[in-house]
Amino acid sequence: MKMIVDTEESISRKLRIDLCPVVQTNVMWPAPVDQRLNELIRLIGLEPYGEVSRSRLLAALVAHATPDSRSLVRLLKTYAALSANDVVLQRSGPISVKHRRPGRRPVQN
C-alpha cells in the first residue's frame, strides 16, 4: 500500500480500488458513532467474509454514498437530530466510552 503525502499523481480509472495509493485522514466524531462502527465491524465478523478494518468499512460506505446534494443534506439533518441511543446498536444499559490510543487494533469478534 502506497501512502500519498502532499504530492500529486495520476491514477488509472481502471485500477482496482484496493490497489490505489492511500491517504491518511483524522476523523473526529461523537463516541456513540465510534461505538456503532465497532459494532458494525463485529457484525461483519459473524459473516464468512474474513477480517475487515474500520478504514475499509468507512471507505466502502463513502464510496457508495449517493452523490446527490439534497440527499446528503437530508442525511446530515437526520443525523443532527439523533440521540446517542439512536446511533448505537446496543439496546440497553449505559453506553460506555472506551478511551483508546490512535492506530490499528486487532479485530474483536
Parent domain of 43: 28-87
Find, among 25, 16, 30, the residue nearest to 88 by Cα.
30
* Contact present, 19 and 2 (Cβ < 8 Å): no
Q: Is 46 within a domain?
A: yes
Question: Nine-digit cell at 95?
Answer: 453506553
| Helices 54-63 + 31-45 axis angle, to 10 | 100
Within a domain: residue 92? no
Q: Does residue 1 sit within a domain?
A: no
The number of domains in the chain is 1
pTM: 0.80
Give the other-Cβ count within 10 Å of 67's Cβ: 6
Tell me the pLDDT of the chain averaged across its residues.
88
Count of beta carbons in the 10 Å neighbourhood of residue 35:
19
pLDDT digit string, tens, across residues 20-70 = 999 888 899 999 999 999 999 999 999 998 889 999 999 999 999 999 999
